[in-house]
Amino acid sequence: MTQLTAVLAVPTQLVHLSSIDIAIVVFYFALVLSIGWYLKGRANTGEDFFMAGREMTAWVAGLSFLSANLGALELMGWAGSAYQYGILATHWYWIGAIPAMLFLALVMMPFYYISKTHSVPGYLKLRFGEPSRALSAVSFAFMTVLMSGVNMFAMAKVMQIVLGWDIHFSIWVSSLTVAIYVTLGGLRSAIFNEVLQFFLIWAGALLIPILGLYEAGGWTHLKVLIAQRASEQYVHLWSTLGSFSNNPMGINWVGIVFGLAAVISMGYWTTDFLVVQRILAAKDIRSAEMAPIIGAGFKMLVPIIVILPGLLGLAVLPEKLVPESIASVTGAHSYNDVLPLMLARYCGPGLLGLGVTALIAGFMSGMAGNVSAFTTVWTYDIYRPLIHRNGSDHHYVNMGRWTTVIGVLISVGTAYLVMQFASIMDYVQALFSFFIAPLFGTVVLGMLWKRASAAGGFWGLLCGTLCSVGMWTWVKVDPSALRYVAMSPHAKGLAQDMYQALWSFIMCVVVTVVVSLATKPMAEVELNGLVYGLTQVPAVGQVPWYEKPVFWAAVVGVVFVALNIIFW
């Protein structure tokens, strides 16, 4: 109760909104509600409500794909992680995103698209049967409402710290707005609002890095300030990862390359239906492949508005920020507060309204993404196959609308769970290691190995999930167990999540292989369209070389490598 009382206490207001700031915020709320109302008439069938009619262009799908991941969680969480860990947090945007997004575009997207599935669990149903679909759908639905709660918490923190608003007021006004426009317009409404929010987020969030770099005297002098106030380790991307003890994150390159890049990142960007759903709404196979590549190009720029504010806070903020669990008791500012503190530091009337609107847009974008994904998975992968098989299309659309409201209400309750973690991103990475890492093992084996059986897919996914949850529980009960999970006495929290994900992925793959070899595989004729080697992969058609997805994937790949070398 102590933590809850501290969070709900009367906050210290950093700034006051002027009339023009209030007008900007109110106009934004009115605009997103208007979009939902306008699109209401185009969300009457299941295909329209849940999949936006599958008519999105590559640019709309790509920006929505990225915007669904660019919520208040990203803006606040990774700014806080950058303050806590330095430039190492950038790994979650570069090696922890770009290779996986390109892999999704060129390897996995054709299978998702030609199967015309409504969800990733829907693919598992086709590949491994109903038990695997049910297990993945339940775990994913559970994860999405927890993630939606994170976005609620992040939004409430911004409004509480910057404006002094009551935390309950912040949660309910914003969450009900999301519930209204997603309920009215379904995925189409969520996508169009996410594209709008993408531009609003950039317009508002760019203020901090521009003004902050000016105050710090440029990037070179910023590195000097960080070295003086923290450590030189905070400004190196790779050179400190030779040992667990040489960097503030307490991790080594094995955890980053294999735990993050090869497992968590691949799992999130290729199997998390929150983002994959946006690509499945593309109008054709070329658009479906180009959308993740467009998203990857913009993703490489996101550290400018997310990581850089955290580094600037480390250099210029006068007070020392602390973990969330300590801040909720002592009343001090936490790592998660660095972005709103920087916003209050630099933004005056008008600019403040734009900055606050950017954060509100980020919250709504992230929450709408989770809610629309939860609604689709619940309706198509839990309710229809397990509870009510023979309903009409109209019945399932109505169920989707009600589920949107219920999902928002459940998410409100999960927001307070975040207070038990040092930072928002510690909470999120733990969730990913539970659900995303083993799911990736199941999906990738299903796509690439025709011998994988239905029993192998189910037991591999179940054992991988239980393995991750078991390791997390072990470390919670006995913190010294972290040295065994992450293979070093110097490992810290995020290292646990990376290695936890790696072990759960390995467990999933091993169990899937062993059980598959001991059980009967599906007939090859049933695997057409589901497995490489047995499927005619659709081509993008006769387009010039400079319009082909593989060309732009190569361009993004070259820039990605160059950035990692520059910030080595």
Q: Which of 155, 128, 227, 187 is nearest to 459 (CA)?
A: 128
Confidence of residue 6 (pLDDT cuts 50, 70, 90): very low
> Looking at this protein, which amino acid is placed at residue 257?
V
> Looking at this protein, which amino acid is placed at residue 354?
L
**pLDDT (tens digit per residue) in 360-390:** 776 666 676 677 777 777 777 777 777 877 7
Q: Is a pLDDT exceeding 70 seen at residue 98?
A: yes
CB neighbours of 20 closer than 8 A, spacing ≥ 6? 349, 350, 353
Q: Is a pLDDT exceeding 60 seen at residue 7?
A: no
% of the chain with per-residue pLDDT over 70: 79
486 contacts 255 by C-beta, under 8 angstroms: yes
Q: Which of 207, 190, 188 is nearest to 198 (CA)?
A: 190
Q: Which of 279, 303, 228 is nearest to 115 (CA)?
A: 279
Lowest mean pLDDT among 45-54, 63-72, 137-146, 190-199: 45-54
Confidence of residue 71 (pLDDT cuts 50, 70, 90): low
Strand, helix or coil for residue 392: coil
Confidence of residue 486 (pLDDT cuts 50, 70, 90): confident
Q: What is the pLDDT of residue 86?
A: 84
Q: What is the pLDDT of residue 1?
A: 29
What is the mean pLDDT of the segment spanning 65-77? 70
Q: Which of 154, 148, 149, 135 is nearest to 79 (CA)?
A: 154
Q: How far apart are CA 259 and CA 248, in angstroms?
A: 18
* Proportion of the chain in helix, strand, coil states, percent, rounded to 5: 80, 0, 20
What is the mean pLDDT of the segment spanning 110-124? 71
45 contacts 198 by C-beta, under 8 angstroms: no
% of the chain with per-residue pLDDT over 90: 8
Instruction: Report residue 565 CA to chain centroid gap.
Output: 26
Q: What is the pLDDT of residue 555?
A: 94
Q: What is the pLDDT of residue 466?
A: 92
Q: Convert 358-386 to b/e letters by CB count within 10 Å (16 or more is b).
A: bbbbbbbbbbbbbbbbbbbbbbbbbbbbe
What is the mean pLDDT of the segment spanning 530-541? 73
Q: Which of 98, 422, 94, 89 is nearest to 247 (CA)?
A: 89
Q: Domain boundaries in the chain?
A: 15-416
What is the mean pLDDT of the segment spanning 544-568? 88
Lowest mean pLDDT among 166-170, 203-207, 254-258, 468-472: 166-170
Write down the mean pLDDT value for the chain: 77
Highest mean pLDDT out of 140-154, 381-395, 438-452, 502-516: 502-516
325's tokens? 């669990």
CB neighbours of 276 closer than 8 A, spacing ≥ 6? 104, 112, 120, 270
Q: Is 414 left (phi over 0), alpha (psi -120 to 50) or beta?
A: alpha
Q: What is the pLDDT of residue 11?
A: 44
Confidence of residue 3 (pLDDT cuts 50, 70, 90): very low
312 contacts 342 by C-beta, under 8 angstroms: yes
Confidence of residue 351 (pLDDT cuts 50, 70, 90): confident
What is the mean pLDDT of the segment spanning 156-168? 69
Class of domain 15-416: mainly alpha
Q: What is the pLDDT of residue 125?
A: 83
Q: Is a pLDDT exceeding 50 seen at residue 435?
A: yes
* Global pTM value: 0.76
